[in-house]
Amino acid sequence: MKSKHYDPNKLIDGLIEKLNLKNHAALSRVLEVAPPVLSKIRHGRLPVGASLLIRMHDVTDIPIRELRDMMGDRRKRFRTSERTPFSAASLKEAA
């Protein structure tokens, strides 16, 4: 499921489909996040954070790289802050 453009809606919709859920409220219950979090992500007011990606991985067993691909995130590296760079490889080693 690859996309050329960043769109977290594709990630949310893909998880709803994979988990056979009815809507994002059901997904929020499975992920144990408040429904407004997914709504804010859908409307571009909140990014998909690392902790949410990890939770999505824990619930679905989909690799984080694949989750990021689902929403069109093509960065080779991502950071938790400007001072602490992590590469996908270093996070994989830590897991």
The pLDDT profile of the chain, 95 residues, written as one tens digit per residue, is: 444 588 999 999 999 999 999 998 999 999 999 999 999 999 989 999 999 999 999 999 999 999 999 988 766 555 555 554 555 555 555 54
Q: How many residues does the chain have?
A: 95
The number of CA neighbours under 13 Å toward the Cβ of 16 is 14
Which pTM was predicted?
0.72
